[in-house]
Structure 1
Amino acid sequence: MEITFSLEQINEVAKQILAEDPKKVILFHGEMGVGKTTLIKALAKSLGVEGPTSSPTFSLVNEYQTIDNKLLYHFDMYRLKNETEALDMGIDEYLYSGNWCFIEWAEKIPNLIPETHSIVKIKLVSNGKRTLLLTC
């Protein structure tokens, strides 16, 4: 799936992504400030997370519960120095839990990513719009 959108359309984009039946582990690629976290917040909302969501830049992972008591994990690997740090935090337990795992800066942990995953690539284009490519 490939679409071009503005940030005002982010909630609809989240619904379109979920309608494509992506894998539960989704890697988000894009430059700093392109809207990865904003999209993940919209996905969390679409999946039934009612409370506030934020970037896990300093905590590495945020855990959210949906209205139907399912778990969703949002990772930000930007500050990791190596894959050992991810293993030390127990990332493998999260990634193989069967719950949604949204991972920003997954390129920092290439050897830890499950074989079965989806990828979202976001690029900034003209007039503040973004192009999104979803690979399931």
Structure 2
Amino acid sequence: MNWADFSSAEPDLARTVEERFGAFTHHTLATLRKDGSPRTTGLEVRFLNGELWLGMMPDSLKARDLERDPRFCLQANPGEGQTLGGGDVRISGRAHEVTDPETKARYIEEVEPPEPFHLFRTELTEVVRISVEDDKYLVVQVWKPGEPVRTIKRT
């Protein structure tokens, strides 16, 4: 399921997630190293033409990780200070490298990234938002493909 599918199924949560990612340029990507241990690195993301795109420098370790094992988790930059305006947002899924010259050319036209670069299209497996409501409730929203958003409220 791509970003357009998620946005169509859950427009309010999708809008909130995009706003959180749009608030800052750099975010945190978690990938899996060759030995299975986690690697976290910074990167920029783009929501464009119904897709969530991950662009990376050529032969970066995170790109190599995704080429070997496409599973990832992406966390929006929490920003400065103690509060998370808009909540804590994470997206999990699989990243598939784009090698089609036409698709890459359209991306280059819109984004103008430094070249050469790796470009990955994402397939979503989970979207999570954790926020505080009324200064006393912890609210966890979880979405998975084919399921409605599940909301859990804790005091």
Structure with bigger gyration radius: 2
TM-score interval w.r.t. the shorter chain? under 0.3
Bigger relative CO (Cα 8 Å, ≥ 6 apart): 1
Whichever structure has more strand as a proportion of its residues is 2
User: What is the TM-score when the length of structure 1 is the normalising length?
Assistant: 0.27
Whichever structure has more helix as a proportion of its residues is 1
User: What is the TM-score when the length of structure 2 is the normalising length?
Assistant: 0.25
